Amino acid sequence: MPRRPMMAANWKMNKTVREAQDYTAALLPRAADAEEVDVVVFAPFTCLHEVARMAGDSAVVAGAQNFYYEDSGAYTGEISAPMLLDVGVGAVIVGHSERREIFGEDDEMVARKTKRAVEADLLPVVCVGETKEERDAGGMWEKVSGQVRRVIDELEDAGGESVVFAYEPIWAIGTGDTATPEDAQDAIGKIRDLLRETRGDDFAESVRILYGGSVKPENAAEIMAQKDIDGALVGGASLEVESFVELIEAAQNAVAPPE
Ligand code: PEP
C-alpha cells in the first residue's frame, strides 16, 4: 500500500476560538477536495474541542501540540491522552524542537510520550532535527539517528502506520531558510534506511516521514516530489487558510496530478 501524504498545520501559540472556527469552516470543503491527502490541524488546547467538533467525520483531523504521558493526577498544567481523546483529538505532536529547546524535553520524555500516544491510539508526529552548529560540524546524522533510535526502541511491536516522523532541521524552522529538497530527501531517506535496518521492510515502508522548516506554497511541490518525503509539518504558512490549502493541493497533485 502506498503511503498516504499528510499535510499538517502547526498553529503553535496562535488563534482564538473564533479565529479557529473561521479557519476550520473555510478549510473543511477545500480539504475534502484533496481526497488523497490526510489533513491535520495542530491547534492550541483551547481551540481543540471546537476544531474537532467542526471537523466531525470529515477528512480533517484535530491534533494537539503536546500532552503528558500519565493519564491523570497531580501534574498541574498538563493534559493527558484520555483528555485529548475525550474532545475528539486524533493526533499529537511529540518532541517539537520548541518543546525540546524552550521546555527542556529530552529524548527519554519524547520516547515515553510517543509510546503512550501509540497505546492510546493517538497518532504521534515525532519531531527530530539538528541545530545549525550540529549540521556545520558534520553531526546531523549522529543527532537525528539518536533521536529516531530512542523512539523506535520504545515502540516494541507497534506497526509502522501508528507513528509519523517529522524531520525538522532547527535552523529551518520559522527562519525562511528551507533545507534544499535534496538535503531534506537525504536526511529522510537515511531515517527510512534506519527504520529498515532496525524494524524491517514492512515497518520502514509504512511509516510516514514529513519534512518541516519554512515550507510554503512556492517550495511545496519540489519537496513533495522527493521519493521518501510523505508530506509536511508547517508553521508560519499554515496560519492563513489560503496558503495552507495551497500546500494541501501541492500534496494532492504530487500523488494525483490534475489531468
Ligand atoms: C514548525 O513549527 O514545525 C515549522 C516547521 O514551522 P515553520 O513552517 O514556520 O518553519
- DSSP states of 152-202 as a string? HHHHTT--GGG-EEEE--GGGTTSS-PPPHHHHHHHHHHHHHHHHHHH-HH
**Nearest atom in ligand 1 to 93's CA:** 3
Question: Does some domain include residue 1?
Answer: no
Structural domain harbouring 243:
6-255
**pLDDT score of 180:** 92
Give the span between the Cα atoms of 151 and 118, in whole angstroms. Answer: 11
| Å from CA of 231 to ligand 1 middle | 13
| Å from CA of 76 to ligand 1 middle | 28
124 - beta bridge partners? 92
Question: Does some domain include residue 122?
Answer: yes
For the Cβ of 173 lying below 6 angstroms from any atom of ligand 1, the answer is yes
Question: Does some domain include residue 170?
Answer: yes
| Å from CA of 100 to ligand 1 middle | 14
For the Cβ of 50 lying below 6 angstroms from any atom of ligand 1, the answer is no
Burial, 149: exposed, middle or buried (Cβ in 10 Å; 0-12, 13-18, 19+)? middle
Question: Does some domain include residue 27?
Answer: yes
Total tally of structural domains belonging to the chain: 1
Low-confidence ranges of the chain (pLDDT < 70): 1
Q: To test the ligand 1 pocket, which listed residue (10, 93, 128, 239) has its Cβ within 8 A of the most ligand atoms?
A: 10
pTM: 0.96
As given in the structure block, the three cell numbers for residue 236 are 508560519
| Å from CA of 259 to ligand 1 middle | 32
**Nearest atom in ligand 1 to 175's CA:** 10
Give the CATH number, domain containing residue 129: 3.20.20.70
**pLDDT score of 1:** 62
Question: Does some domain include residue 28?
Answer: yes
Q: Whose CA is nearest to atom 8 of ligand 1?
A: 235
List the catalytic residues: 96, 168
Give the span between the Cα atoms of 213 and 128, in whole angstroms. Answer: 11
Q: Whose CA is nearest to atom 1 of ligand 1?
A: 235
Question: Does some domain include residue 116?
Answer: yes
| Å from CA of 73 to ligand 1 middle | 32
Rounded alpha-carbon distances, angstroms, from residue 63 to 67, 80, 124, 227? 11, 13, 9, 26
Question: Does some domain include residue 180?
Answer: yes
Question: Does some domain include residue 189?
Answer: yes
**Nearest atom in ligand 1 to 212's CA:** 5
Q: Which of 69, 76, 21 is nearest to 48 (CA)?
A: 21
